């Protein structure tokens, strides 16, 4: 453990000695905690971090002036699309994905270090229940999809296989997530195949480049963004762990998309067959101003350009087929080969430019009084997971249907988008569609038939409540055996027990 003198000397070198200004008032416990927090901050890196934050914040806001001229959509040869490909092609992608999963070459990696400030709950977002009839949390849905995809791949290839689950957490989410998994018996996954690791934290900084004290004995720290993944992979030797297990392909995703298809065989298969080292799933933007990043090229290099950096005129441009020219919305679902991750962590990580977020950061004033600022007073610096696309040798994008694969939980109810209500609705509407496609029919409480597929609205609550456990169906497959020609009254909860009841007896 570093001494006060050593830490003070380091802070002096970094121009941040003010972080110890309440030292004399602190009791031994808080003193030790503060030293433990400060000791790992390497002086040169801390100085540079604070300098960069203040400098980045001083830049004028808005898009770089010449961006529009440098922008191009992804060329068609880099794009695959679920809706624009024929069934045979889709089958080949899926088959290849299942093959790789069955060979134990595929892992999933969850980015779960965020603070979820917009949702505003005091626990990790993955532990959130959006109000499904089953009461399942996001973590449970994901765990069950892993189990199901392992089962499907295993059955196809006549083998048993494992999709290891790597979970990047942060100081905020590691403890409660680990506890939650233990409490729930790892949702029946083998704990040896669930690997949690922690990303780094960085101090929040004032506009004039001073790290902020949240309390007299605590620096205001925030996780270093989901692009902190690359440092965290190196810090915790995660790629070595993947190598030991024979993992070659990694599906990286965000915690908050309730429809996420973990280790999606079609996506994996498409990327593998294209020989890609890096890939991104995209959905068509719903409207030109939709606030999602766009996967495109800048000076011929693949990138995600943030919606705020694209002018309204550029955002409205149309391609010859009538779709938006810059319509490939990023949904934080990425494919990486282990080799690519190795190269990025070893060589490219320092080249990733941090992004600046200006936030209200609670802090103590000169007298040590707690201040909750009413306007933004601090800078948080974050790296983004997708900023590595520029280093890919063979980047591809894979377009999927939004209503099947993307509904993120960002805001608290009653927000009109990306809320518990909209995500719950998206999942239940999807399951209702799956049930109808499998040949089920539903009646309302008075016995009247409910709408069938052609008249089913894409938005709003589905006519009947239908929830299908991921353990029964991963993406709508295999439901006919339980549902074909059957009538149900809402709600239908198709979990493993119900599936057993509905399964016709073997002749």
CA pseudo-torsion sign 459, 463, 465, 466: negative
- Give the Cα separation of 129 and 483 in Å (integer): 27
CB atoms within 10 A of CB 505: 4
CB of 349 to ligand UTP, least distance (A): 15
Does residue 379 touch ligand UTP according to CB under 6 A?
Answer: no
Q: What are phi and psi of 129, to 5 degrees?
A: -105, 120
**Contact flags string 265-304 toward ligand UTP, x per CB under 6 A:** ----------------------------------------
Q: Return the number of the residue (82 or 427) whose C-beta is nearest ligand UTP.
A: 427
Q: Return the number of the residue (177 or 430) whose C-beta is nearest ligand UTP.
A: 177
Query: Under DSSP, is residue 79 helix (H, G, I), strand (E, B) or coil?
Result: strand
Query: Under DSSP, is residue 30 helix (H, G, I), strand (E, B) or coil?
Result: helix
Residue appearing with tokens 């901050």: 41
106-111 and 249-254: which strand pairing?
Answer: parallel
Q: What is the DSSP letter of 505?
A: P
**Which residue among 97, 164, 225, 329 contacts ligand UTP (CB under 6 A)?**
225
Q: Find out whether 166 and 110 touch, Cβ atoms under 8 Å.
A: yes
CB of 118 to ligand UTP, least distance (A): 3
Does residue 359 touch ligand UTP according to CB under 6 A?
Answer: no
Query: Under DSSP, is residue 245 helix (H, G, I), strand (E, B) or coil?
Result: helix
Q: Return the number of the residue (114 or 463) whose C-beta is nearest ligand UTP.
A: 114
Q: Which two tokens stand for residue 261?
A: 């298809």
CB of 89 to ligand UTP, least distance (A): 31
Does residue 484 touch ligand UTP according to CB under 6 A?
Answer: no
- Segment interacting with ligand UTP (CB under 6 A) among 42-50, 108-116, 179-187, 318-326: 108-116
Give residues with Cβ within 8 angstroms of 371, minimum separation 6. 362, 363, 364, 365
**Which residue among 80, 97, 113, 329 contacts ligand UTP (CB under 6 A)?**
113
- Give the Cα separation of 118 and 411 in Å (integer): 5
**Contact flags string 145-174 toward ligand UTP, x per CB under 6 A:** -----------------------x-x----
How much is the CA Rg of the chain, to the nearest whole Å? 24
Query: Under DSSP, is residue 123 helix (H, G, I), strand (E, B) or coil?
Result: coil
Q: Return the number of the residue (50 or 409) whose C-beta is nearest ligand UTP.
A: 409
Q: Find out whether 340 and 363 touch, Cβ atoms under 8 Å.
A: no
Q: Return the number of the residue (111 or 233) whose C-beta is nearest ligand UTP.
A: 111
CB of 380 to ligand UTP, least distance (A): 9
- Segment interacting with ligand UTP (CB under 6 A) among 83-91, 99-107, 223-231, 282-290: 223-231
Does residue 228 touch ligand UTP according to CB under 6 A?
Answer: yes
**Contact flags string 170-189 toward ligand UTP, x per CB under 6 A:** x-------------------
Of all residues in the shown chain, the one whose CB is closest to ligand UTP is: 114
Q: Return the number of the residue (117 or 311) whose C-beta is nearest ligand UTP.
A: 117
Does residue 118 touch ligand UTP according to CB under 6 A?
Answer: yes
Q: What are phi and psi of 52, to 5 degrees?
A: -65, -40
403, burial (CB in 10 Å: exposed 0-12, middle 13-18, buried 19+): middle
Site residues (CB under 6 A) for ligand UTP, limited to 230-269: 254-256
Query: Under DSSP, is residue 492 helix (H, G, I), strand (E, B) or coil?
Result: strand
Does residue 418 touch ligand UTP according to CB under 6 A?
Answer: no
Q: Return the number of the residue (168 or 468) whose C-beta is nearest ligand UTP.
A: 168
**Which residue among 117, 437, 484, 503 contacts ligand UTP (CB under 6 A)?**
117
Q: Which two tokens stand for residue 216?
A: 């007299």
Buried b vs exposed e over 313-352: b needs ≥16 C-beta within 10 Å? Answer: ebbebeeeeeebbbbbbbbbbbbbbbebbbbbbeeebeeb
CB of 165 to ligand UTP, least distance (A): 14
- Give the Cα separation of 153 and 163 in Å (integer): 10
CB of 324 to ligand UTP, least distance (A): 23
Does residue 111 touch ligand UTP according to CB under 6 A?
Answer: yes
Closest Cα to residue 412, out of 131, 120, 114? 120
**Which residue among 115, 193, 377, 490 contacts ligand UTP (CB under 6 A)?**
115
- How many residues line the site for ligand UTP (CB under 6 A)? 21
Does residue 226 touch ligand UTP according to CB under 6 A?
Answer: yes
Q: Find out whether 136 and 278 touch, Cβ atoms under 8 Å.
A: no
DSSP3 helix / strand / coil % (the chain, rounded to 5) = 40, 20, 40
506, burial (CB in 10 Å: exposed 0-12, middle 13-18, buried 19+): exposed
Q: Which two tokens stand for residue 434?
A: 């799956």
* Max CA pair span of the chain: 81
**Which residue among 116, 164, 329, 378 contacts ligand UTP (CB under 6 A)?**
116
**Contact flags string 383-412 toward ligand UTP, x per CB under 6 A:** ---------------------------x--
Q: Find out whether 39 and 2 touch, Cβ atoms under 8 Å.
A: yes
Q: Return the number of the residue (112 or 266) whose C-beta is nearest ligand UTP.
A: 112
Does residue 330 touch ligand UTP according to CB under 6 A?
Answer: no
Does residue 142 touch ligand UTP according to CB under 6 A?
Answer: no
Residues that bind ligand UTP (CB under 6 A): 111-118, 125, 168, 170, 199, 223-226, 228, 254-256, 410
């Amino acid at each position: 453990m570093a001494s006060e003198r050593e830490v003070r000397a380091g802070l002096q070198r970094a121009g941040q000695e003010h972080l110890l200004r309440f030292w004399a008032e602190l009791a031994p416990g808080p003193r030790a905690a503060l030293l433990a927090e400060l000791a790992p901050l390497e002086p040169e890196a801390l100085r540079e971090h604070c300098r960069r934050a203040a400098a980045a914040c001083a830049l004028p806001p808005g898009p770089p002036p010449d961006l529009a001229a440098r922008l191009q959509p992804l060329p068609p040869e880099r794009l695959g699309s679920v809706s624009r490909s024929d069934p045979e092609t889709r089958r080949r992608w899926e088959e290849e994905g299942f093959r790789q999963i069955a060979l134990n070459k595929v892992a999933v990696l969850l980015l779960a270090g965020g603070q979820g400030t917009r949702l505003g709950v005091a626990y990790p977002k993955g532990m959130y229940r959006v109000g499904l009839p089953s009461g399942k949390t996001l973590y449970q849905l994901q765990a069950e999809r892993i189990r199901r995809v392992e089962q499907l791949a295993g059955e196809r290839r006549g083998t048993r296989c494992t999709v290891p689950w790597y979970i990047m957490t942060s100081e905020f989410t590691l403890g409660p997530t680990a506890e939650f998994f233990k409490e729930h018996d790892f949702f029946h996954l083998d704990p040896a195949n669930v690997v949690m690791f922690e990303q780094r934290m960085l101090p929040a900084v004032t506009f004039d480049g001073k790290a902020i004290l949240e309390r007299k004995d605590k620096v205001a720290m925030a996780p270093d963004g989901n692009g902190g993944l690359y440092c965290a992979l190196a810090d915790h030797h995660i790629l070595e762990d993947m190598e030991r297990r024979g993992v070659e392909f990694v599906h990286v995703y965000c915690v908050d998309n309730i429809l996420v298809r973990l280790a999606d065989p079609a996506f994996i298969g498409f990327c593998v067959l294209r020989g890609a080292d890096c890939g991104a799933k995209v959905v068509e933007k719903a409207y030109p101003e939709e606030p999602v990043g766009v996967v495109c090229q800048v000076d011929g290099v693949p990138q995600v350009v943030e919606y705020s950096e694209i002018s309204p005129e550029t955002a409205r441009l149309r391609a010859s087929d009538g779709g938006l020219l810059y319509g490939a919305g990023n949904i934080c679902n990425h494919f990486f080969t282990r080799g690519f991750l190795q190269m990025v962590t070893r060589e490219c990580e320092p080249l990733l430019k941090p992004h600046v977020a200006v936030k209200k950061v609670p802090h103590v004033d000169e007298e040590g009084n707690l201040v909750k600022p009413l306007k933004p007073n601090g800078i948080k610096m974050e790296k983004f997971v997708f900023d590595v696309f520029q280093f890919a040798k063979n980047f591809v994008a894979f377009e999927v249907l939004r209503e099947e694969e993307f509904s993120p939980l960002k805001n608290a109810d009653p927000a009109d988008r990306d809320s518990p209500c909209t995500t719950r609705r998206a999942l239940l509407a999807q399951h209702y569609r799956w049930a109808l496609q499998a040949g089920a029919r539903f009646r309302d409480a008075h016995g009247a038939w409910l709408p069938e597929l052609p008249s089913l609205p894409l938005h709003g609550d589905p006519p009947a409540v239908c929830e299908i456990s991921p353990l029964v169906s991963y993406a709508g497959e295999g439901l006919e055996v339980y549902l074909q020609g059957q009538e149900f009254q809402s709600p239908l909860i198709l979990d493993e027990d119900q599936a057993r009841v509905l399964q016709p007896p073997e002749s």
